[in-house]
Structure 1
Amino acid sequence: MGSQDVLRETTRLASSSALLQILFRVITFGLNAFTLRYVSKEIIGLVNVRLMLLYSTVVFLAREAFRRACLSGSTKRNWMKTFNLLWLTVPLGVCWSLFLGWIWLDILEVPDANAVPHYKFGVVVFGLSAVVELLGEPFWVLAQVHLFVRLKVIAESLSVISKCFLTVILVVLYPHWGLYIFSLAQLLYTSILVLSYIVYFMKFLGSPEAIKKSFPVTHMTSVLPSFEQDEAFVNWKEAKLTWSFFKQSFLKQVLTEGERYVMTFLNVLNFGDQGVYDIVNNLGSLTARFIFLPIEESFYVYFAKVLERGKDIKVQKQDDISMAAAVLESLLKLVLLIGLTIAVFGYAYSQLALDLYGGSMLSSGSGPNLLRCYSLYVLLLAVNGVTECFTFASMSKEEVDRYNFVMLALSFIFLCMSYFLTYWQGSIGFILANCFNMGIRIAHSIHYIYRYFGESPYRPLKGLLISPLLIVVYIISGVVTGVSEVFLCCDKGWIARLIHIAVGALCFTVTVATIFFTETKLIHFVRTHFLSKYTKEGLK
């Protein structure tokens, strides 16, 4: 598959993943607003912070390094050795689940059983659900490498919708069940997700379609662990790269979920405050999750396929390098403009959004300021996602190992800053610490990209520059919507709120129109590689 074909399939994967994430977040957005009316904020805080932290930590530490290592390279490989390596995620996940489950049950503070019933059951089931999800890892990597878009869409859609459906039923009928509700829903989610991949490949492998495409795997038994005499059990190159990424993934997990670790282990916020923070955090990160994360995941696959890891740019195919540089420049411009738009308009509409979503419980106190800070953090998050996406896809093993030391220092600094800033500024301190962390990581990645393309004619970092006219429009929009918030929101009545929304809509329209006229290269990239996939091809 040539670089153009890979780019076409990757953008289709990113587009469909983004739309899929939009659907998921809209559903969960409504689900959270619904459950707020039936369960306490203490239960929401415990589920969304402590139990989801247990689940995400087990899954991330057990599989992230394996995914990054096994997604690199072409589809033509010894898949038996790759599968053998991927199956190691299951026993690793069991070990992490048992170890962390012990910490969650015996080391951490146990919540009051009257306020949050069935805590032990929740810890056990969330740990079990993490292990269940790891059972589908070989199938997920196989599908991702071959860019099976529709499989990803169907599997994740079924699992999320089923989880939400069960949650709603149990919350309405048995609200006193407490953590039983969310634990059973999480287990259902991971079970359906894994079964969807297994059922698909049971039908696909060995089918006429698979034979026609010369699919490298022919039987389900080929996916299971196997051992051949006189051959290594795994591909040692992939195994060594996995170890490098594993050391990095531990640090990255601390940086990604740092505030939850601080809340969980240092008790800087009670469960109720954790619930409010998590709701605001989820609301603020909607765009990051349903747009930026699919772009990062999909284009990591693209860069990993097109670029030869660890090789000098001069000895690689120049057509591939040119295409990668153009794609990186356009991606940087795209996420920068999305992030700037969120930062500018998020400042003036944070309080209104929280008031509409959760009422005075969220819109009063530190909620609006927390969401305003998060709007700035989303901008940094957007740029960091794309720059690190390229950096990790092109780094050599030695460079990955060296970067682990940088991540170690960042992890320590971030945790210290989170702890002290939280005591100083409350929950806002978490966002400030995250902003500092993202700024340092962006600086490192930009320096790497600058050196990578230093001896070539390509300058993809120009994607971080925007036209002066657009900057002026952003400034005017921020001032106008800020003034509108002071005089029209949020205790001035519904008519004033509607006028405030109309002012924002007008400023947003002018901003988008300016982008269309000033960023023609970006518009062409989006039309060519994202929008055309739905108008011409649709989901295959």
Structure 2
Amino acid sequence: MRSQEALTNAAKLTSYSAGLQVLFRLLSFLLNAYTLRYVSKETIGIVNVRLTLLYSTVVFLAREAFRKACLNVGVEQKWAQVINLLWLTVPLGVLWSLLLGWVWLHLVTTPDPALIPHYEVGVAAFGLSAIVELLSEPLWILAQVHMLVRLKVIAESLAIVAKCVLTVLCITIVPHWGLYIFSVAQLLYSGCLLTCYVLYFMKYIGSQEAQRKSFPLSTVSDVLPKYHCNQPIIDLRLAVLTWSFYKQSFLKQILTEGERYVMTFLNVLNFGDQGVYDVVNNLGSLVARFMFLPIEESFYVFFVKVLERGKDIGHQKQEDVSMAANVLEMLMKLMMLIGLTITVFGYSYSHLALNIYGGSMLSLGPGPTLLRCYCVYVLLLAINGVTECFTFAAMSKEEVDRYNFMMLALSLTFLGFSYCLTWWQGGVGFILANCLNMGLRITHSLQYISRYFKHSKSQPLKGLLIPGPLLLVYLGSGTVTALSQATLSEQCLMSQLVHVLLGALCLSITLVTIFFTEPRLVWFVRTQFLSQGKKEM
């Protein structure tokens, strides 16, 4: 069955993404912890906030709309037209890189050259890195649509590891290079990513495996843009849909990276405070990168394959609609429980985590408060990810266009809240503004899902309901670990060990309670995620 095959492929892709990314990103996480002890807060603020924002903005604005539109195509699509459309990401990337590079050099506050030299080199390198990465975009889309599940994870993981290893080696051996180190490492990341995709498809295209899977390209040159007689250069339907998503991408980027734009353009925090905020943000979002993002990307592909975009559910295969509703309910339940677990236990272990990760630079000052607030934000992030994943997969073009106007209002509201709350509460204000913004986005997605299944027997929103016994366990665990943190964790190594053991005990009780109160979720995870990993071993 088409829907069952799509579900299996989505679960397999998620298993690879979550499993391998945990392995490789854990290595980069440890290497970054080492880096924190040799780099100033100001340098971290410039690299991780200012320069990374330049890179992510160029990449997002150049490719996000194309991904949203082109991931919905079928294997029977005329891929020559799709590939021609995808290659437009490169000139767009060049345009945005030049424009934003000029802004970063002339319209925002630049660091003192005596304190942080080579800022101009960093801007040029991060802009060039974005362009290099965009060269692999047609290959990325081909890999996703045809479920080449290993390629994406291995390529990205190898690139991240290479970047982190080079950074640590250079910081240890030639720390006086400053921003040169991070510039070269960023270019290495993009170069590794592009090389992995090119080498894989050079071997894969024309192989027996490709022929067996009816891969649409027969030669490596088919990946390049071409003109075919008596055919449009690009798929006009996809181009129109891409434009709809493109208008939305500006607003979504502001919502995604809004606090960094406020920091960069309004200078509400100094570079040192920006560095601390970014480290806490990265630490707090580990689970989002490890698990939430792979699930969202993989099951977006599942929903667009199973559901017909913009069609009422009464005019679709009821078997597919029922499966989509069941999967959505289970995903919402899974994300809800993961987010709730992080929120409950994150409050009591934020100080200890920051002290282990970055030493007194992070654990003294606003760091622990920032991380505790971020744990609440992770819960909202988890729910929003899966609800928007479904919403964007099911929306028609007209609904996407209407949603763009709402995104504009959300963007302006978010920026206003970020500016005001940051002047009031510093870095915590950014997180509070993010929570308000995420709450509004969740509300919209829940309303859409409710209307979508209004005339169906399926009720996927039940996935947000938590059984009473499990809520009591969460409340008890939060109380015990909070008391433990207040009385034990600040005193000595033995007290910290007792604090950790109490947390492990409470977490074990929570997981056992989930096992007995949520049998459907346990079955879903076991059959769709864990079994996929075993089959591939």
Are 1:343 and 2:343 counterparts? yes
Are 1:505 and 2:507 counterparts? no
> 1:489 & 1:171 partners in 2: Cα distance?
32
Match of 1:533 in 2: 532
Secondary structure in 1 aligned to 2:76?
Answer: coil
Note the C-alpha offset of 1:432.
0.2
> 2:323 & 2:25 partners in 1: Cα distance?
32
> 1:444 & 1:8 partners in 2: Cα distance?
29
Q: Is the 8 A contact 2:62 2:96 kept in 1?
A: yes
The amino acid of 2:341's aligned partner reads T
Are 1:175 and 2:179 counterparts? no
The amino acid of 1:432's aligned partner reads L
Match of 1:514 in 2: 513
> 1:201 & 1:331 partners in 2: Cα distance?
33
Secondary structure in 1 aligned to 2:37?
Answer: coil
> 1:20 & 1:46 partners in 2: Cα distance?
29
Match of 1:238 in 2: 238
Note the C-alpha offset of 1:288.
1.0
Note the C-alpha offset of 1:19.
1.7
Note the C-alpha offset of 1:178.
0.5
Are 1:165 and 2:165 counterparts? yes
Q: Is the 8 A contact 1:126 1:187 kept in 2?
A: yes
Are 1:400 and 2:381 counterparts? no
Are 1:125 and 2:125 counterparts? yes
Q: Is the 8 A contact 2:20 2:154 kept in 1?
A: no
Note the C-alpha offset of 1:50.
0.3
Match of 1:16 in 2: 16
Q: Is the 8 A contact 2:45 2:278 kept in 1?
A: yes
Q: Is the 8 A contact 2:167 2:182 kept in 1?
A: yes
Note the C-alpha offset of 1:488.
0.4
Match of 1:275 in 2: 275
Note the C-alpha offset of 1:47.
0.3
The amino acid of 2:496's aligned partner reads R
Q: Is the 8 A contact 1:304 1:394 kept in 2?
A: yes
Are 1:291 and 2:286 counterparts? no
Secondary structure in 2 aligned to 1:257?
Answer: helix
Q: Is the 8 A contact 1:247 1:404 kept in 2?
A: yes
RMSD over aligned Cα, in angstroms? 0.9
Deviations 1:51-104 (A, max 9, x none): 000000000000000000000132110100000000000000000000000000
Tell which deviates more after alignment, 134-143 or 194-203: 194-203
Q: Is the 8 A contact 1:325 1:460 kept in 2?
A: yes
Residues 311-350 of structure 1 mapped to structure 2, 5 A cutoff: 311-350=311-350
Deviations 1:295-348 (A, max 9, x none): 001100110111100011011111111111110000000000000000000011
Match of 2:88 in 1: 88
Tell which deviates more after alignment, 223-232 or 323-332: 223-232
> 1:212 & 1:229 partners in 2: Cα distance?
28
Are 1:524 and 2:523 counterparts? yes
Deviations 1:224-267 (A, max 9, x none): 11112332111111001100000111100000000000000000
Deviations 1:405-444 (A, max 9, x none): 0000000000000000000001000000000000000000
Q: Is the 8 A contact 2:241 2:397 kept in 1?
A: yes
Structure 1 unmatched ranges of 5 or more: none
Are 1:256 and 2:224 counterparts? no
Deviation >3 Å, runs of 4+:
none
The amino acid of 1:503's aligned partner reads L
The amino acid of 2:495's aligned partner reads A
Residues 135-174 of structure 1 mapped to structure 2, 5 A cutoff: 135-174=135-174
Match of 1:375 in 2: 375
Match of 2:46 in 1: 46
Residues 176-215 of structure 1 mapped to structure 2, 5 A cutoff: 176-215=176-215
Note the C-alpha offset of 1:366.
1.2
Deviations 1:160-217 (A, max 9, x none): 1111121111111110000100110110111110111111111111112212222111
Q: Is the 8 A contact 1:20 1:290 kept in 2?
A: no
Q: Is the 8 A contact 1:259 1:430 kept in 2?
A: yes
Q: Is the 8 A contact 1:296 1:385 kept in 2?
A: yes
> 2:494 & 2:150 partners in 1: Cα distance?
44
Note the C-alpha offset of 1:153.
2.5
> 1:370 & 1:164 partners in 2: Cα distance?
25
Match of 2:482 in 1: 482
Q: Is the 8 A contact 2:21 2:153 kept in 1?
A: no
> 2:535 & 2:102 partners in 1: Cα distance?
53
The amino acid of 1:342's aligned partner reads I
Q: Is the 8 A contact 1:410 1:437 kept in 2?
A: yes
Q: Is the 8 A contact 1:60 1:253 kept in 2?
A: yes
Note the C-alpha offset of 1:157.
2.2
Note the C-alpha offset of 1:461.
0.6
The amino acid of 2:354's aligned partner reads L
Tell which deviates more after alignment, 87-96 or 143-152: 143-152
